[in-house]
Chain A
Amino acid sequence: MIKGNFIDNLPKVYGIYTGGFLAFIIIMSIAEQMGMTAKTIGICFVAFTVAIYAIIGYLSRTAQADAYYVAGRQVPTVFNGMATAADWMSGASFVAMAGGIYFKGYGYMALLVGWTGGYVLVASLLAPYLRKFGCYTVPDFIGTRYGGNLSRFMAVVVLTVASFTYVTAQINATGTIASVALDIPFQYAVYVGLISILLCSMLGGMRGVTWTQVAQYIVLIIAYLLPVFWISNKMGAGFFPHFMLADEVARIGELEQQYGFVKNAAADLKTVPKGLAGITKAHSAVNATPWAFISLALAMMMGTASLPHVMMRYFTTPSVKAARKSVGWSLFFIFLLYSSAPMLATLSKLSLIDPSLPTGIIGKSIAEVQAIDWYQNWNQANLMFVSDFNGNGTLELNEFFMGGKAVVLATPEIAGLPYVISGLVAAGGMAAAMSTADGLILAIANAISHDVYYKIIDPKAETAKRLVVARVLLVVIGFAGATIAALEIQGILGSVIWAFDFAMSGLFFPLVLGVWWKRANKEGAIAGMALGLISGAAYLVWVRTGGSGFLGITQLTFGIFGSAVSLVAMVVVSLMTQAPNAATQKMVDNVRVPAGKSVI
């Protein structure tokens, strides 16, 4: 069926794959009609998709360093864009983002702006230059540009802190979904998730991860968009929700006015299960100060441009030119999902709070709501709760509580879509969490195997030995992440945001100035990384332990403080010490020109 070079056949291969996946959805919906249980459908969806990823991972196995670290540098722009989008959009984006918008409105939507705007910085400041440099990892760039093992090692430290914070959240998410879909306890589900993740990356490294991420993107985008369009059409809100929900947004505003945001007594709130929240903020009104919004967006943008698992995706393109275009494609594919999340939040909220809709529950009697099938299901899953605080027997807006994940997970069921959609959503969430976890674990393992082991400890190591070390590290880091995830210390979204702040504190300026400021030297970079990371972390600890903070910088935006310290330290120390030597200056000149051989 397929002849010739794999790369030339990519559109065909993934075209067939997409067709196959759609056929699978249809088969499942027929099976549902014929009486297959909801549980079996869920298992089929997760098992089938994970099996496909594992096969792709196996077919991509390699024994070459170039293929293992940078997928042979031959990934075409559009496909690299899809892989980056999957790499980027985590379990949090997929499962929690619409929920965040649903509950917090405008203040939360700073994340949408931040997590997309950062790509402008990636495209203009960094990606093409790092591609020209020809490095395998981000610390490889720092170590070669600035020279010396210490700078290389510091970059590995920052990378590990940021990526590890992030990866535990992703393994946690795969565990959550696997435990729901396969109906096994969370502590075991975490390891099922981990093994699925390792199947994709172990044998093929970056090559395996690239081709599974493309496959995962296709699953996750279908799983996100199909329900949004379907629900919108079913509710009669418009066949293309993105352009047609203005009336619905306005209607939510009216209802909010009518109900008012009644504040619950603290004693009443204590009876609400942990993790659930009520609607307390306006849906489309501006409910945050300009600085609260801008600081969060800014932190996420600079964090985006410092996260190594994203940056290393652009090392895999065939050329500098392709790297730039590929950033554009990445953002386009991300845009498809991010612009749909607010629409889903709108549809979900309106369908619940509008009494004139058949699904609306506000204004109904409490007993009536408690008798609804889907309410009982999600109440049991600990994602929905109602309580008659004022004792009038009717459900008020302030008496209805929901978990953030419910917006994505429960809305299809509330809108009356068949269960096959819920199975599809589970597969999509799994794909989103797995693809991000894979990228992150690989980023950490590659940095340690390439930069610490090969470049610092044993520069004479043969390729075969290096790849063994890389794979062993992959497994070790995966298990470490899963073990911490199994402890369930912190919510999914919080740790994701911290990862951005850590990354920007330590890496943003050393990376950017490495290209854009010739005078930046080794001493400056080391000071920038070390002081940036330390001061950022110290600020976080201070605020977490009751410190008041300053300039409105919170525990979600501590990277702004860390990176400011990093910038000052780097500039001052660089200017106080010797300028980089002629060879380094020449290296920077070389990086700035796309043509010619790569630097390394």
Chain B
Amino acid sequence: MSKQEQHWEKTRGLLFMTLAIWFVFSIGIFLFGAEMNEVGGPFGYPLTYWFTCQGSLGIFVILIFWFANRQEKIDEEFGFSERGDD
């Protein structure tokens, strides 16, 4: 397998992982919205309510930065990252 193919395989792996986490917090948990809302969440809000107004949103922010860092590492590993700028 060429360097480029390996790089793409890792990139795709990271994509699937990112999308899996995204799926859980944008779709998965809301399948059980009614049940989850009976449980107390952070800061005392009902759990589903908390996810819709802060939890999922905040997780998406962290997820994107995490993804960006992981992808940078993959690019560096194969010597495909850009030089010089940021």
A446 CB → nearest B CB, Å: 24
Given contacts A124-B15, A124-B19, A124-B67, contact A297 B30 (CB under 8 A): yes
Interface string of B33-77 (1 = CB under 8 A from A): 110010000011110110111101110110111011001100100
When distances are taken between beta carbons in the complex, the residues of chain B under 8 Å from A324 are 64, 67-68, 71-72
A331 CB within 8 Å of chain B: yes
B22 CB → nearest A CB, Å: 4
A242 CB within 8 Å of chain B: yes
When distances are taken between beta carbons in the complex, the residues of chain A under 8 Å from B37 are 284-286
- State whether B33 touches A112 (Cβ < 8 A): no
- State whether B56 touches A335 (Cβ < 8 A): no
A219 CB → nearest B CB, Å: 22
Q: How many residues of A contact B (CB 8 A)?
A: 56
Interface of A, secondary structure class, is helix
A146 CB within 8 Å of chain B: no
- State whether A120 touches B60 (Cβ < 8 A): yes
Q: Give 12 A-B pairs besides A321-B86, A341-B53, A592-B11 with Cβ atoms closer than 8 angstroms.
A: A112-B52, A116-B61, A120-B18, A290-B31, A294-B31, A298-B27, A321-B81, A327-B68, A331-B60, A331-B64, A339-B54, A339-B58
Q: Pick the contact of A322: B15, B31, B86 (CB < 8 A).
A: B86
List residues of A (101-118) whose CB comes within 8 Å of B's CBs.
Answer: 106, 109-110, 112-114, 116-117
A332 CB within 8 Å of chain B: yes
Task: Give the number of residue pairs across the A-B interface with Cβ within 8 Å.
Answer: 153
- State whether A328 touches B65 (Cβ < 8 A): yes
B82 CB → nearest A CB, Å: 5
A318 and chain B: residue at smallest CB distance: B85
Residue among B48, B56, B68 having the largest count of chain A Cβ atoms under 10 Å:
B68
A320 CB within 8 Å of chain B: yes
A244 CB within 8 Å of chain B: yes
7 CB-based A-B contacts, threshold 8 Å:
A117-B25, A117-B26, A124-B19, A286-B33, A320-B82, A328-B61, A595-B75
When distances are taken between beta carbons in the complex, the residues of chain B under 8 Å from A298 are 26-27
A88 CB → nearest B CB, Å: 13
When distances are taken between beta carbons in the complex, the residues of chain B under 8 Å from A250 are 44
When distances are taken between beta carbons in the complex, the residues of chain A under 8 Å from B44 are 246-247, 250
CA separation between A79 and B30, bound complex, in Å?
A: 33
Given contacts A113-B56, A331-B60, contact A595 B80 (CB under 8 A): yes
When distances are taken between beta carbons in the complex, the residues of chain A under 8 Å from B33 are 106, 286, 288, 290, 293
B68 CB → nearest A CB, Å: 4
- State whether A339 touches B57 (Cβ < 8 A): yes
When distances are taken between beta carbons in the complex, the residues of chain B under 8 Å from A110 are 30, 52
B56 CB → nearest A CB, Å: 5
CA separation between A541 and B69, bound complex, in Å?
A: 44
- State whether A294 touches B27 (Cβ < 8 A): yes
List residues of A (324-373) whose CB comes within 8 Å of B's CBs.
Answer: 324-325, 327-328, 331-332, 335, 338-339, 341-343
